[in-house]
Amino acid sequence: MGIFTIASEMGHEEVVFCSDPESGLKAIVAIHDTSIGPALGGCRFWDYRNEEEAITDVLRLSRGMTYKAAVAGLPLGGGKAVIMGNPQKLKSEQLFRAFGKFVQGLNGRYITAEDVNVRPDDINFVAKETKYVAGVTSSSHGSGDPSPVTALGVFSGLRAAVKYKLKTDSLKDVRVAVQGVGAVGKSLVHQLSEAGAKVVVADINKEAAKIVAETYKAKLMDPFEIHGADVDVFAPCALGGILNDQTIPAIKAKIIAGAANNQLLEEKKHGFMLMEKGILYSPDYVINAGGLINVCHELKGYNRDKALSEALGIYNTLLHVFETSEAQSIPTWEASNHIAEVRVQEARGKNSRMTHTFNNQTWIHRDEA
């Protein structure tokens, strides 16, 4: 299938191929939808097997950003960038600055940030060439590492899921299994233990798991068995695709609420499997939107308290998703997709002048620019 056919089926507005042979930069920027606001999404640096794999990834990820921002109620659209190649060999100031020039050329339709293998220090180089960038280090007046805000949002969403499914406001003695104790998982364990939950942890990094288990008096489990732990909540905070044909039959938890992206291996099939088992699934892009909320605040002039308070709003957003799912007898992932699609459609239908302020400049909606 040709790129135009795929992009039009998935609803993309624009796909840009960027090449700078001097620095070795080969990047693709996909702008999925700017009906609500400028397309924001991180830049991923990955050694793709071929160009087709990179195109598929950037199209899928950028579409996901439109949904994430729309459900979170943010004034942003969805976009994403990928840089092709081995980050260990290719990373340089020259390459990131070349990427920054391409981003600047898009004149604010796309705003970039960190993603896999792109750290705040790399983003600082990008920021030398473009103002359309977020996630620069806090020492450069940015919002810094988004992980603590993501973890707060996940904690808040987990509380909403417990309230909805277990009918309790308290996490005292609620049993939670956290898979992956990296930046987000560890911070989540901290908040859960403070709230009195009984926590089980696992990580393929045995040392990291042991330290977290000792610090928070959590039980340790095998990382490849933790999905089947005898708990109330399973919190995937490691890799995507963890909810699949093999794992779902073993899950004993009544709630899934974790940070990992793309948790359902196949959205439709595995979303239905969870629903049939009576497991309440918190859609990943809804519960893990804290990082995006944080970055969005950086664009307005960063105020950490406001960002944290908005991340707590994921509680109500998730309750709305659960209620919609129950009222319409549809899986929760479908309910959140509907909410996003309605918001995008409403924005598209508005004839009123839509403007967005970014870095003290007014960004005008594409139909009026």
Q: Given the rule CB under 6 A, which residues bind ligand NAD?
A: 146-147, 150, 179-185, 202-205, 208, 223, 237-239, 259-261, 288, 291
Q: Which residues contact 35 (CB under 8 A, 6 or more apart)?
A: 77, 344, 347, 348, 365
In terms of CB distance, is 77 or 157 closer to ligand NAD? 157
Euclidean distance between CA atoms 353 and 362, whole angstroms: 12
Q: Which amino acid type is present at position 182?
A: G
Is 198 annotated as catalytic? no
In terms of CB distance, is 173 or 225 closer to ligand NAD? 225
CB of 36 to ligand NAD, least distance (A): 19
Q: Tell me, what DSSP letter sits at residue 164?
A: H
In terms of CB distance, is 166 or 265 closer to ligand NAD? 265
Q: Which residues contact 47 (CB under 8 A, 6 or more apart)?
A: 84, 85, 86, 87
Of 285, 259, 255, which Cα lies nearest the Cα of 72?
285
User: What are φ and ψ of residue 334, in 5° steps?
Assistant: -70, -40
In terms of CB distance, is 102 or 281 closer to ligand NAD? 281
In terms of CB distance, is 34 or 150 closer to ligand NAD? 150
CB of 233 to ligand NAD, least distance (A): 16
294 within 8 A of 42, measured Cβ to Cβ: no
CB of 258 to ligand NAD, least distance (A): 8
Q: Is the dihedral of CA 339, 340, 346, 349 positive or negative?
A: negative
CB of 22 to ligand NAD, least distance (A): 32
Residue sitting closest to ligand NAD (CB):
182
Euclidean distance between CA atoms 18 and 189, whole angstroms: 41
CB of 104 to ligand NAD, least distance (A): 25
CB of 263 to ligand NAD, least distance (A): 8
Number of H helices, E strands in the chain: 14, 14
Active-site position among 26, 80, 165, 198: 80
Euclidean distance between CA atoms 68 and 182, whole angstroms: 22
Look up tokens 């790129």; give the residue.
3
In terms of CB distance, is 238 or 354 closer to ligand NAD? 238
Catalytic residue numbers read 80
